[in-house]
Homo-oligomer: A and B are copies of this chain.
Amino acid sequence: MSESIKRAMKISQLAKVTNVASKTIRYYEDIGLLPTAYRNDNGYREYSASDVERLVFIRRCRELKIPLEQIKTLIAVQLDQKSSCQEVDTLIEQQLDKVRKTIAELTLLEQTLHTLATSCPNDRVGDCQILKNLQQEKIS
């Protein structure tokens, strides 16, 4: 009775231990990211330890901004013991590339916005250098 091993828990329990909203858990089941949950007599979903593991895995992937579709792939690879983890490598590399590209883009953007933000010493809209700059094709 004093055991902390939960053999079955309801959705809000799972939500709490994994830090994923109940709403999101149902959504993941809808799109097939989580297996169809077992239902008890009253129709409530019931979860076990393996669901916790799976969901923590998904949450970690989401923290890394890995799209749900790719998480599906990762789970499939994971379940297929005879597959190589080359696919996992590649996927993570691609994700890293994407993040780096986005950082590069945003860094340029930051420059432009900074230039823009410091370009207007005026007070009246008619003279606003920011607005004038935005009217040009490129910011000089």
- Which residues of A come within 8 Å of B, CB atoms? 53, 56-57, 60-61, 64-65, 74, 77-78, 80-86, 88-89, 92-93, 95-96, 99-100, 102-103, 106-107, 109-110, 112-114, 116-117, 120, 122-128, 130-131, 134-137, 139
Chain B positions within 8 Å of A80 at CB level:
125
Give the dominant DSSP class at A's interface: helix
Measured in the bound complex, the distance between the Cα atoms of B84 and A88 in whole Å is 54
Chain B positions within 8 Å of A125 at CB level:
77-78, 80-85, 88
A95 contact from B53, B56, B78, B113, Cβ within 8 A: B113
What is the total number of copies of this protein in its complex?
A: 2
Residue on B with the closest CB to A79? B125
In the complex with contacts A89-B117, A116-B92, A128-B85, A109-B64 CB distance below 8 A: yes
